[in-house]
Structure 1
Amino acid sequence: MRTYLIKYYDSTTALHSFVDANGSVFDCIPIEQQMSRRGQPGAIATAVDLPGWAATLAPGAPHAPARPLVQLHADFVDIYGNQMFAPDGTIPVRRLTLEGLSRFRSLRHFMQKRPGNGGGIRPPGASGPSPQVAATHRWAHAFQNVNNLGGTSFVNVWDPGIGANQIFSLSQHWYVGGSGAGLQTAEVGWQVYPGMYANTKPCLFIYWTADAYHSTGCYNLSCGAFVQTNKNWALGGALSPWSVAGGTQYELDIAFYLVGGNWWLYLGGGAAANAVGYYPASIYHGGAMATHASEIDYGGEVVGTTSWPPMGGGAYASAGWQHAAYQRQIQYFPTGGGRTDAALTASANAPCYTSQVVKYAAPWNETVWFGGPGGTHC
């Protein structure tokens, strides 16, 4: 782990630092000094507008407007008076320490979607989970098998509590290609994962794998796969405020789009200026995700051992607006161009959680409601 940390910080210069709302330290380093760019020839790729993004409407019917989340801004200051904002030409990188890594049994456990899962974990809509997955993972989600170049949705953010013998709770997108040992993904969402982030609040995260989570994959900027280009978002950083049961809902506009040989991540809108960065398709080594995904998936996942945490706001899908977790206006980008509404199938693999797909008029369109209280009998 010491060797890894030396490599992680090799040839980096922190030009500014701040502490986010969850207590995590971020160092702002020049874009070319991030792990994915060191020693790499060629220029950083250039983002484009998402197909049809200007036609999407602001939040509204059938429910009261939710509020968009803004993570970093020059007007925000941390508890020490530092601006929570990265200078031009830099990106915020979450500070890693030996103490933090030591919460994991090995470096590989730190890189995995959850520690100790080996190769057993699979996305929920993929071919049936192994017994190991059934023993630890629970999902409530909605999926569609369709060739695609990514997709988009608005995701409301919650603050589910994580208790003893519970590992994480999340809401995310999965874009999936391949199968078996060749299964590949690009993933993004929010997650409460105390073992990873040393706090119990929602954090922005990304993840990927090129070999069914066996020997490839990592969170955020941990392994030099993702190239971040936007200074306004801190991967692994706090998302706040979050939704309140019976009250204000806060949501994040999220998209992945494969264009020009890169899986681009967008947050807060579909203009090129909203692009956060990209996974080069080359990380998939000529596999399925190098050219397209074959499945889209949206919803929640929790992991526990003898007890499972709440998902979303802890309410079942039927509780609906201001109580259940949701992802709305779910659309995907067909391989032939443009964008289209998803046609999802709801699924849940445990009685502690449910999911429900509803087709609304614009601007909610295809929506999945999901969630549940968790517990010891899941």
Structure 2
Amino acid sequence: MTRADEDPTALSKIHAAESNHGKHWYTSTGQHVDNKGGKGTFSLFGAYVQRSADFSLLQTAVIRSKAAHAKKGTTSQTVEAGWINYPDHGKEPHLFSYFTTNGYSGDGDNIGGWNRDRKGWVQVDKDLYPGIPFKPLSTRGGNQHELEIGYHLADGNWWLWCLDRYIGYYPGSLFSQGVNAADTLADHSDIIDFYGEIFNSEEEVTTTDMGSGEWPDAGYGKAAYIHNIVYTDTKGNFQNYNGQSQLIISDAKRYNIKPSWNSASSWGSYFYLGGPGAGGKIGA
């Protein structure tokens, strides 16, 4: 067998394979605006994932892009939530939440983490919680099911809205330890995003689906979506979301998005998104 160090072509192939480990692919939208949260109605497909350490999600992220941080000067801070299939974190597709106080530089109690894995999340509802699966799920060409998900900053805390009520919160104090709260996410967000994301856990590029695996052009009944997307302005009023200024498509050959902002339809601002990943075959 020829060694990689003797064959530049072989070495190149190895490097190409290794470069996919830990990569993320996005179909992402974002709006730069001071806000106190937002929400949207998410489709509930059980996205196919190739490996248990891969994930496929639809989510919102409420961001303070240059928050004061006691140890690092400035960093990004977020509260995030959405719909995910991540077998290593739950056997079934489920509602998730995530927070970071330090720009994703490390998780830990009261620092950052998923769901209720780390201290920081305060549970209020007796039935609904980050990590809970919902059934039934949407099917391609069949019945469609959806869930309204969002965050709202109230009384200094970031409350997670799910189904028809607030289920718990991240205390604003998590984000303002040792610094002025007004300079952190404890006071307001300056970016709000809604998007799809794929995580590739191994060297070979993943065949994990985004949403249903259908392309956005397939439309209602087949493709995944988020509709009636709004943000909450600093006075507490809902405003139609427009994420065009921060539209990111990592690889249109695998995943894509089709937005409609401020539409005249009952869906308001919305988008379809999805794709079948590497290989182009849904569910494989």
TM-score in terms of structure 1 length = 0.60
Per-residue deviation at 1:324? 1.4
Aligned to 2:64: 177
Q: Do 2:52 and 2:86's aligned partners in 1 also have CA atoms closer than 8 Å?
A: no
Q: Do 2:40 and 2:230's aligned partners in 1 also have CA atoms closer than 8 Å?
A: yes
Distance 2:35 2:130 in 1: 25
* RMSD after superposition: 2.1
Per-residue deviation at 1:301? 0.5
Mapped pair 1:159 → 2:49: no
Aligned to 1:290: 186
1:302 corresponds to which of 192, 198, 221: 198
Greater relative contact order: 1 or 2 (C-alpha under 8 angstroms, separation 6 or more)? 2
2:133 corresponds to which of 238, 241, 266: 238
Aligned to 1:211: 102
Q: Do 1:347 and 1:354's aligned partners in 2 also have CA atoms closer than 8 Å?
A: no
Structure with bigger strand share is 2
Counterparts of residues 121-160 of structure 1 (less than 5 Å): 136-160=23-47
Aligned to 2:4: none
Per-residue deviation at 1:338? 1.0
Q: Do 1:310 and 1:373's aligned partners in 2 also have CA atoms closer than 8 Å?
A: yes
Mapped pair 1:347 → 2:248: yes
Q: Do 1:166 and 1:307's aligned partners in 2 also have CA atoms closer than 8 Å?
A: no
TM-score in terms of structure 2 length = 0.79
Letter of the 2:75 counterpart: G
The alignment partner of 2:150 has SS state of strand
Report the CA distance shift for 1:266/1:133 in structure 2 as closer, same or farther (over 3 A): farther
Per-residue deviation at 1:232? 2.2
Distance 2:55 2:21 in 1: 15
Distance 1:242 1:165 in 2: 19
Mapped pair 1:361 → 2:260: no
Counterparts of residues 1-378 of structure 1 (less than 5 Å): 136-164=23-51, 167-179=54-66, 182-197=75-90, 199=91, 201-215=92-106, 216-269=111-164, 274-285=165-176, 286=181, 287-304=183-200, 305=202, 306-308=204-206, 309-345=208-244, 346-351=247-252, 352-359=254-261, 360-375=263-278
The alignment partner of 1:182 has SS state of strand
Gaps of 5+ in 1: 1-131
Per-residue deviation at 1:166? 5.7
Report the CA distance shift for 1:134/1:342 in structure 2 as closer, same or farther (over 3 A): farther
The alignment partner of 1:222 has SS state of coil
Distance 1:340 1:318 in 2: 26
Distance 1:164 1:133 in 2: 14
The alignment partner of 1:178 has SS state of strand
Per-residue deviation at 1:254? 1.2
Distance 1:296 1:369 in 2: 18
Distance 1:205 1:154 in 2: 15
Q: Do 2:96 and 2:131's aligned partners in 1 also have CA atoms closer than 8 Å?
A: yes
The alignment partner of 1:183 has SS state of strand
Q: Any idea what the Cα deviations from partners look like across 1:203-240, whole Å, max 9, x if unmatched?
A: 11100001111123111112221111111213212122
Percent identity between the two aligned chains: 30
Gaps of 5+ in 2: 1-18, 68-73
Q: Do 2:196 and 2:273's aligned partners in 1 also have CA atoms closer than 8 Å?
A: yes
Distance 2:173 2:53 in 1: 35
